[in-house]
Amino acid sequence: MRSAALLFVYSLKRVRTLALTAGLLLAAFQLVLIFVAGSIQSSGGFNQLSALLPPFARELLGPSVAAFMSFSGIVCLGYFQLAVMGALIALAVTLATTPASEVEIGFMDLILARPLARHWIISRTIALTIVVTAFMLALMVAGTWTGLRLFAPKGVQWPSATLVNSLAVNLGMLALCWGGVAMAIGAASRRRSVAGGAAGLLALATFLLDYVGRLWQPAQSVAWLSPFRYYNPFDLITGNALPFKNLVVLGAIALAGFATAYALFAQRDISH
């Protein structure tokens, strides 16, 4: 246990610069977004923007179009903007494939030549992925409240704390879900690029599946297979509560990924 804790601290130390830089960038993005939303709000531009939306975007947004085309909606965009989602998922995938990277460079040989059970490698990686993802989201939420305090026009309605937290929790679970998938692939891989690439491609494919499913009726029957289906920020910004089912599904995928990773890593040959 002591060795596993030591390994965790060492791993955390190695990723601290990446986590801090990415977290601060995402927090800064929240500030910029709020500044922009404040400017639009002050100039009364939300109505004009709403009118400019093309029909397909209206269809995609559905009844949430009004909620989205508001100061609060744009502030919330910081939690479902494609680049933000991509960055968080990419970071989770990167962290989750740490064992594959350690196998690849040969560091795993040195670690496992010590009296350390293999399951601690996976446990360390799960802890690392959760802690860093939570840290990133915490910085994002901090960025949102700081931005609102600094740049929100007077009298404008802020998004509620429940809404911001719900978006953050749901996004965090989505990132962990992909972390679990990547970890399962990475536990059997010799190369991080292979594991990360496979997880990334799978994420892209399922993202497109969800996207198509929202626009095209026939695709809806299989869209439930996409983890992205269980992160529906537009529902949340219209005032609906965070569906517990979404968290359960994403959490279950993450857990299944972690369990698969334990099983695969325990049995595999470590060779690079």
Partner 1 sequence: MAPISIRGLSKRYGNVLAVNNLSLDAIQGEILGFLGLNGAGKTTTIRILLDLLRPNRGNAFILGHDCQSDGIRARRNIGYLPGEMGIYSDLTGRDVLDLLAGLSGHAVNMSRRGELQERLEFPARDLHRRLREYSTGMKRKLGLIQAFQTDPMILILDEPTEGLDPLMQESFYKLLLDVKRSGRTVFMSSHVLSEVDRVCDRIALVRKGELVLLSNVEELRKLAARSVRVLFSGDVPAPAGLPAGTELIETSPQSWNLEVQGPLGPLLRVIATLPVRDIEIEEPKLEDVVLKYYRDGAR
Under the rule (CB under 8 A), what is the footprint of partner 1? Answer: 2-3, 6-7, 10, 14, 105-117, 267, 269-272
Closer Cβ to partner 1, 10 or 35, answer by number: 10
Which segments within 153-198 are labelled E, that is strand? none
Contact 32, 25 (CB under 8 A): no
Residue 261 CB, nearest approach to partner 1 (Å): 18
Residue 87 CB, nearest approach to partner 1 (Å): 21
If we measure between CA atoms, which residue out of 99, 126, 46 comes closest to residue 272? 99
What the block records as the tokens of 168 is 């953050």
- CA dist., res. 21 & res. 15, Å (int): 10
Contact 167, 143 (CB under 8 A): no
Residue 98 CB, nearest approach to partner 1 (Å): 11
Contact 66, 50 (CB under 8 A): yes
Closer Cβ to partner 1, 3 or 81, answer by number: 3
Closer Cβ to partner 1, 3 or 146, answer by number: 3
Closer Cβ to partner 1, 31 or 127, answer by number: 127
Residue 269 CB, nearest approach to partner 1 (Å): 5
Residue 107 CB, nearest approach to partner 1 (Å): 5
Closer Cβ to partner 1, 53 or 270, answer by number: 270
Spatial CB neighbours of 175, under 8 Å, sequence gap ≥ 6? 88, 89, 91, 92, 133
